[in-house]
Amino acid sequence: MTREEALETIKAVIEEVVPGADPSAVSADENFREGLEMDSLDFLSFVEALSGRTGLALPEQDYPALTTLGGCADYVAEHTEGAPSDAT
């Protein structure tokens, strides 16, 4: 999965788990959990949905890498390298 594909997937997952959230309202380096007022349950739902959408195991120790759109996109792209981009 490319970084751009990863970013689009992440934005779609955020919109899915937090109705009314606008991922474009936060910068790539801003903590989107804070910027979108996601509580811990929202974030866990995001992680589960992202894992399901990408096929990645997302261990709790990697959660800090998933707090910004840019960091999350880098993480997903790096960990899905060589994997089909349609892992939905």
For residue range 13-62, list pLDDT tens digits in order: 999 999 899 999 999 999 999 999 999 999 999 999 999 999 999 999 99
Other CB atoms within 10 A of residue 85 CB: 13
Q: Where do the domains of the chain lie?
A: 3-79
CA-nearest of 72, 79, 78, 65 to 9 is 72
Instruction: Check residue 45 and report its DSSP letter.
Output: H
Superfamily of domain 3-79: ACP-like (1.10.1200.10)
pLDDT band (50, 70, 90) for residue 82: low
Residue 78's pLDDT band, with cuts at 50, 70 and 90, is very high
Phi/psi zone of residue 26: left (φ > 0), alpha (ψ -120 to 50 degrees), beta? Answer: beta
